[in-house]
Amino acid sequence: MTTLWAGSYREAPALFKQNGTYYLITSGATGWDPNQAKYATASSMNGPWSSLQNLGKHIAYDSQSTYVLPVKGTQTTTYVFAADRWQDPDLVSSKYLWLPLKFSGTSLSLDYYNEWNLNLTTGAWSP
């Protein structure tokens, strides 16, 4: 067991593996309030883990990481960032945000799309 990023309070882990690299997306520990999503990478679950890098806009498009869903198709795999959009104090009205993750080497990026398409057969997505 090890402490990752000592002095940094993170929650809502979304862990996945792509092309031999582990990715860990987390949220700052700010309760129901949105904050900057960050991610780190490692070639092994035991680490060492990279430093935290920003992911998406400063408040993660008003969301908090929940899960990353790999959609494997005949041509490619799209990794879908699933996140909670908490509506405090009316938590029953909370929604979800689903966006495709983009990779460049081991760098990860997340852009907002009001609408996007995912072909479940091929695994490809488009804005």
Band of residue 14 on the pLDDT scale cut at 50, 70, 90? very high
Whether this model's pTM surpasses 0.85: yes
Q: Which two tokens stand for residue 117?
A: 């398409």
Band of residue 56 on the pLDDT scale cut at 50, 70, 90? very high
Higher pLDDT, 20 or 59: 20
Q: 42-52 pLDDT, tens per residue?
A: 999 999 999 99
Is 92 strand, coil or helix?
A: helix
Task: Detail the DSSP E strand segments found in 73-111.
Answer: 77-85, 95-104, 107-110
Average pLDDT (11-20) is 96
User: How much of the chain, in percent, has pLDDT values that exceed 70?
Assistant: 100
In the chain, where are the structural domains located?
10-126
* Secondary-structure class of domain 10-126 per CATH: mainly beta
